[in-house]
Amino acid sequence: MTEQISSFQRMRLTNRAKVLNQIRLKQPISRAVIAKETQLTPATVTNIVQDLLEEKMIKEGENGSSQGGRKPILLSIDDRSKYIIGIDIGAFEVRMAITNLQAVIIRKKDLPLSAKLDNSLFLSYIEESIQNIIEESRLDKQAIVGIGIGMHGVVNAELGTAIFAPNFQLVDVPIKSYLETKVQIPVYVENDVRAFTLGESWFGAGKGINHFICVNVGVGIGAGIIYNGELYRGSNHIAGEFGHTLIDIKGEKCSCGRIGCLETVASGKALVEYVLQEKDNDYIMQQVNSSEQLTGELIFQCANQGDPCAIRILAKVGYFLGVGVTNLINLINPECIIVGGGVAKAGGFVLEEMRRVVKDNALTNDARNTIIIESELKDEGTLIGAVTLVLNHIFFSNHK
């Protein structure tokens, strides 16, 4: 679906996105105000609005106020006729949702994902799941304007391929081209943490903030960078691989094969390791039959019940995350750090220690006071973020 377009068509698409975005931000809004805000001519706005009304992307509503003369008809995004599919492909499961153009979830589904997959099995499973959710929703396929996918691992967002998905050991998976051919709906693919970051930027704790970093701590650790209001991807797609920044070059072996990455000392996996190393871990170990059942969530529960060992271990993870985040702050100087993933659920136990380390170690007074907050979208961050990939395309017209 990547077609060559002329510069005239590109201008039309850019203008159309300007009008749509103005409606999204200021709805309900009149044609005259759109023209003023976008600096497009009233005739151009009228034409674009006409097209958008016919496509049912927007709707006319009540009349606005006027100083004399006819009251203008106000326009808003039509949340009843166009839909988006968002998909969060994690390490162990696929989460899918259908939302309207305001990212409100109207249908949701979680599916298991086997670790034993090759490229073609993986792609056909995702395709089948998409076809199923469309069928179950009884929506007309024409009403679905795009599919956004947040995929774990290294992703080439431009081509829509998964370059490397560590959990399945898959390499060069052509997600976008395969699904677009099979499903005939435009597909946008992004790394899961970057999708999550975009979601926080549009709908969560990052709304209206120009420079911020989302740090996601689950089984692994990732980050997404919003720089000047836009996602920063780097020159070869790996910007934000925060979990594989070096913290102890004489340390433990990481899942990536290198030594001493942040992930080895601060991820959900490290948390479980710490429990096994502690002598006073009896309260935590009483909750499980074997060490395989240890999870971050269980350790948070024990901390909440006042177990000193669990509290100490969470603070230890918070300490290392604080060191990593201090480096991020000195490097990028964001306005705030948004923390998501399992560790964010541990709230104060981890975040307080992170804040303390940043306060003691960042370079300047302003940097030491960088705000560190929890994600607002929480468990749905990547799913909403995946939907936002489509919205970002519709409203900002990233047409090549």
Residue 370: exposed, middle, or buried by beta-carbon count in 10 A (0-12, 13-18, 19+)?
buried
- For Zn ion, the closer of residues 77 and 266 by Cβ is 266
Q: Which stretch binds Zn ion (CB under 5 A): 19-27, 251-259, 350-358, 368-376?
A: 251-259
Q: Which stretch binds Zn ion (CB under 5 A): 52-60, 187-195, 258-266, 336-344?
A: 258-266
- For Zn ion, the closer of residues 38 and 167 by Cβ is 167
Q: How far is the CB of 323 from Zn ion (least distance, A)?
A: 16
Output the CA–CA distances (angstroms, integers) from residue 117 to 79, 123, 152, 155, in the order listed: 37, 9, 15, 18
Q: How far is the CB of 122 from Zn ion (least distance, A)?
A: 23
For position 266 contacting Zn ion by CB under 5 A, the verdict is no
Q: How far is the CB of 247 from Zn ion (least distance, A)?
A: 10
For position 265 contacting Zn ion by CB under 5 A, the verdict is no
Q: How far is the CB of 291 from Zn ion (least distance, A)?
A: 23
Using DSSP, state whether 33 is helix, strand or coil. Answer: helix
Q: How far is the CB of 261 from Zn ion (least distance, A)?
A: 3
- For Zn ion, the closer of residues 141 and 253 by Cβ is 253
Out of 147, 223, 261, 344, point to the residue binding Zn ion (CB under 5 A): 261
Binding residues with Zn ion: total (CB under 5 A)? 5
- For Zn ion, the closer of residues 256 and 336 by Cβ is 256
364 Rama class: left (phi>0) / alpha (psi -120 to 50) / beta: beta
- For Zn ion, the closer of residues 261 and 384 by Cβ is 261
For position 256 contacting Zn ion by CB under 5 A, the verdict is yes
For position 244 contacting Zn ion by CB under 5 A, the verdict is yes
Cis omega (within 30 of 0) on the bond before 334? no
Separation between Cα atoms, residue 395 and residue 391, nearest integer Å: 6
Separation between Cα atoms, residue 58 and residue 91, nearest integer Å: 37
Q: How far is the CB of 249 from Zn ion (least distance, A)?
A: 12
Neighbours of 21 (CB within 10 A): 17
- For Zn ion, the closer of residues 169 and 369 by Cβ is 169
Q: How far is the CB of 25 from Zn ion (least distance, A)?
A: 40
Look up tokens 């060559």; give the residue: 4
Q: How far is the CB of 246 from Zn ion (least distance, A)?
A: 9
- For Zn ion, the closer of residues 18 and 244 by Cβ is 244
Separation between Cα atoms, residue 314 and residue 386, nearest integer Å: 30
Nearest C-alpha neighbor of 158 from the set 190, 121, 194, 136: 190
Output the CA–CA distances (angstroms, integers) from residue 295 to 45, 122, 268, 289, in the order listed: 55, 27, 8, 12
- For Zn ion, the closer of residues 84 and 261 by Cβ is 261
Nearest C-alpha neighbor of 77 from the set 391, 376, 390, 399: 391
Q: Which stretch binds Zn ion (CB under 5 A): 70-78, 242-250, 292-300, 333-341?
A: 242-250
- For Zn ion, the closer of residues 29 and 221 by Cβ is 221
Separation between Cα atoms, residue 205 and residue 339, nearest integer Å: 10
Q: How far is the CB of 264 from Zn ion (least distance, A)?
A: 7
For position 238 contacting Zn ion by CB under 5 A, the verdict is no
Out of 126, 163, 195, 254, point to the residue binding Zn ion (CB under 5 A): 254
Using DSSP, state whether 179 is helix, strand or coil. Answer: helix
Separation between Cα atoms, residue 237 and residue 189, nearest integer Å: 12
Q: Which stretch binds Zn ion (CB under 5 A): 17-25, 205-213, 240-248, 341-349?
A: 240-248
287 Rama class: left (phi>0) / alpha (psi -120 to 50) / beta: alpha
Which residues sit at the interface with Zn ion, rule CB under 5 A? Answer: 244, 254, 256, 258, 261
